[in-house]
Amino acid sequence: MAGDNYAPMHRRSLDEPEAYWAERAGDLVWTRRWDKVLDDARKPFYRWFRGGEINTCFNALDRHVDAGHGDRIALIYDSPVTGGTIRRFTYRDLRDEVARFAGVLRAQGVGKGDRVIVYMPMVPEAAIAMLACARLGAVHSVVFGGFAANELAVRIDDCQPKAIVSASCGIETTRIIPYKPLLDAAINIARHKPGRCIILQRPQQVCALTPGRDIDWAEAMKTAAPAACVPVAATDPLYILYTSGTTGQPKGVVRDNGGHAVALKASMSVLYDMKPGEVFWAASDVGWVVGHSYIVYAPLLQGCTTLLYEGKPVGTPDAGAFWRVASQHKVKALFTAPTAFRAIKREDPEGALVKRYDLGAFKALFLAGERCDPDTLHWAQRILGVPVVDHWWQTETGHAITGNPVGVHSYPLKAGSTTKPMPGWDVQALGADGHPVKPGEIGAICCRLPLPPGTFPTLWNAEERFFKAYLEEYPGWYKTGDAGMVDADGYVHIMTRVDDVINVAGHRLSTGQMEEVLASHPAVAECAVVGVGDELKGQVPLGFVVLKAGVKTADSEIVADLVKMVRERIGPVAFFKQAIVVPRLPKTRSGKILRGTMQKIADSEAWKMPATIDDPAILEEIQAALQPLGYAKADSRSAPS
């Protein structure tokens, strides 16, 4: 394309990856320069900046203070759910708070390589705890507050933390969510017992501390000595973030220090067009990868002001909340999930509330986390009048795989596409033979190895699972788990997951994990969970259960039990609210449950009677059972395949 500044940059990132990333790494402070930019001695396992030593917290905070920017605002906490609290931390303030909390952790015996679980609501102390771990070279593992005790316990057992940092409560719109009982229950369930819990008491609901185990955040801070930054190997882990896999055992995505800092800082210029001092707002949660990368690390590495928002797009207090925050804090770029915009659109379809605020500083909207429907994209463009960038990435990758690199060159928008591969990414749709299909044809979206810096080098204590889940099927490629196409202009279109991962309100969940919960009910013989379309949340889970012979309990009672069980074992975030009892499940003759066909029937999408089905009549029964719930409105069956 004539005048395309980005294409040569992208080409170079693939042709000369070591030179390209070494230049980006030069923007950071290293305590020891790397020996090798890309270590490929153990293909297909690659490591970036081997031999280098760095401290991520130093680069996020101290570096800016040392450069004379200590008075610049690093973090703004805006919390409508606590009556409109606003707190601003300069880079100096934040460095000092982080250093002191690192001192608290150190006094509890936390050091380099030790794991620390952070189970907190959206308060600045969550970011402070993460950065304090980074300061000590300890490895944080943040667990999203909407997960149940059992999920927290699974993570405790997997990463074996020395300490847990938590809070007395979270606030969901107006509801107080006590965190302490969940924490206690999780520690009770877990086999591994962390030695210490550091609890932030929130005035909305204080909790009783467990003597001998819990310490009070504020008390400990009063006497703590600030801790200095501990240099770590570039390849040492910075954090573990668990994400849904295909089973009840979540995958512990590992992020290293060096490659992560390099890639995240670079993304702020190339993709988000953010300069030091400008205000960036990722309206997500620190419990998700978006929160790790774009609430905490990337904006601070770039010297920007980051916004930490404890509220919702609607209901805190209204659908104008995002515009109020953006206007009040002079936000330049907002990053959120399309579901947040669908929620706003539902309450304020004409965007009337936008007009109440001065959005003069606001320059771009970034959407990710789930497929963005063209309606929502166009609506956002119309009411905001700024470029909207749909970009695609995953917990595993830590930063965008594809997007519109507006900091370098803005490509024309194509609704339904997440535009072009970002630096270091070679993205192709592969066919069953493992070769790229023709442009415009659908295939398994894969990325050529090595992946760029900042992606996951492995899964925590599970290298074989890492290999099998991502690298084995297409040798030389990373299998993303998404299907889609690359069109003739090189634009990437992400269509759907190919596994049993679903996306509910931008939250990634495993239907396999929900099936494990349903199957444990004593009355359930067999079950399946599929993700069905939802106007607000994109997808929601729907369960199908077959009861054991002789079960006398009413179906409605069993369904109510199942809903409660998923909430208790996985958490409210799973949003499992509906299930139906069916006489049988549709299967192939070899016994594979036809989940894809059930989902299409429920969504009234075109479907074909699978040639391998053992008994075609079952699908009609399923269709009839779904209709009273408002699904399967039309019979869109076509000829048998």
List contacts with ligand AMP (CB under 6 A): 243, 289, 368-372, 390-392, 394-395, 418, 480-482, 494, 497, 503, 508
Q: Could you tell me the smallest distance in angstroms from the CB atom of residue 41 to ligand AMP?
A: 29
The β-bridge partners of 196 are 163
Residues 117-146 that bind ligand COA (CB under 6 A): 145-146
* Nearest distance in Å: CB 48, ligand COA: 25
Question: Is 272 a residue that touches ligand COA (CB under 6 A)?
Answer: no
Q: Which does 392 bind (CB under 5 to 8 A by kind): ligand COA, ligand AMP, none?
A: ligand AMP
Choosing from 285, 390, 396, 603, the residue that interacts with ligand COA (CB under 6 A) is 285
Dist. CA 204–CA 225, nearest whole Å: 29
| Contact residue for ligand COA among 134, 159, 340, 622 (CB under 6 A) | 340
Q: How far is Cα 400 from Cα 624, in angstroms, rounded to an integer?
A: 42
Residue 170-199 contact track with ligand COA, rule CB under 6 A, x = bound: x-x----x----------------------
Residues 367-426 that bind ligand COA (CB under 6 A): 369
Using CB under 6 A as the binding rule, the residues of this chain from 542 to 601 that contact ligand COA are 572-573, 575
Under 8 Å between Cβ of 313 and 319: yes
What does the alpha-carbon distance between residue 317 and residue 466 come to, in Å, rounded to a whole number?
43
If binding is defined by CB under 6 A, does position 305 make contact with ligand COA?
Answer: no
Specify the 3-state DSSP secondary structure of 253.
Answer: strand
Instruction: Give the nearest distance from C-beta 83 to ligand COA in angstroms.
Output: 19
Q: Tell me what percent of the chain is helix, strand and coil, each rounded to the nearest 5.
A: 35, 25, 40
Give the shortest CB-78-to-ligand COA separation in angstroms. 15
We find the least distance from the C-beta atom of residue 484 to ligand AMP, in angstroms, to be: 8
Count Cα atoms within 13 angstroms, Cβ side, for 550: 1
616 cis-preceded (ω within 30 degrees of 0): no
Q: Are strands 477-486 and 492-497 parallel, antiparallel or unpaired?
A: antiparallel
Amino acid present at 235 = T
Site string for ligand COA, 482-511 (x = CB under 6 A): -----------------------xx-----
Which residue, among 79, 458, 24, has the nearest Cα to 261 in the 3D structure? 24
CB of 337 to ligand AMP, least distance (A): 8
Residues 6+ apart with CB under 8 A from 247: 510, 512, 513, 516
x-or-dash string of contact with ligand COA, 357-376, rule CB under 6 A: ------------x-------
Residue 340 interacts, among ligand COA, ligand AMP, none and using kind-specific CB cut-offs from 5 to 8 Å, with ligand COA
Angstrom distance (rounded) from CA 423 to CA 264: 12
For ligand COA, which residue of 28, 74, 149, 337 counts as binding (CB under 6 A)?
337
316 touches ligand COA by CB under 6 A: no
DSSP 366-386: EE-SSPPPHHHHHHHHHHH-S
Is residue 453 within 8 A of residue 260, CB to CB? The reply is yes
Is residue 312 close enough to count as binding ligand COA by CB under 6 A?
yes
CA–CA separation, 184 and 207 (whole Å): 11
- Smaller CB distance to ligand COA: residue 270 or 289? 289
299: contact with ligand COA by CB under 6 A: no
Closer residue to ligand COA in complex, CB, 200/290:
290
Nearer to ligand COA, 116 or 282 (CB): 282
Label residue 225 left, alpha or beta by phi (over 0 means left) and psi (-120 to 50 means alpha).
beta
Q: How far is the CB of 170 from ligand COA (least distance, A)?
A: 5
Residue labelled with tokens 């050091």: 111
- Contacted by 168, from ligand AMP, ligand COA, none: CB < 5 to 8 Å by type: none
Contact (Cβ atoms closer than 8 angstroms) between residue 234 and residue 34: yes
Q: Which amino acid is residue 107, in one-letter code? A: A
**What is the closest distance, in whole angstroms, from the C-beta atom of residue 413 to ligand AMP in the complex?**
13
Pick 201 or 246: Cβ nearer ligand AMP = 246
Q: Nearest 10 degrees: CA dihedral of 398, 404, 409, 414?
A: 170
Q: Which is nearest to 147 in space by CA: 508, 405, 577, 636?
A: 508
User: Of these partners, ligand COA, ligand AMP, none, which one is at the site of residue 339 (CB under 5 to 8 Å by kind)?
Assistant: ligand COA
Beta carbon nearer to ligand COA, 96 or 318: 318
Check binding of 336 to ligand COA (CB under 6 A).
yes
306 or 458: CB nearest ligand COA:
306
Q: Do the Cβ atoms of 487 and 221 come closer than 8 Å?
A: no
136 binds, among ligand AMP, ligand COA, none (CB under 5 to 8 A by kind): none
Does the N-terminal peptide bond of residue 44 adopt cis geometry, omega within 30 degrees of 0?
Answer: yes
In whole angstroms, give the CA distance from residue 180 to residue 86: 25
- Using CB under 6 A as the binding rule, whether residue 284 contacts ligand COA is answered as yes
Contact 394, 401 (CB under 8 A): yes
**Residues of the shown chain interacting with ligand COA in the complex, contacts defined by CB under 6 A:** 145-146, 170, 172, 177, 283-285, 288, 290, 312-314, 336-337, 339-340, 343, 369, 505-506, 572-573, 575
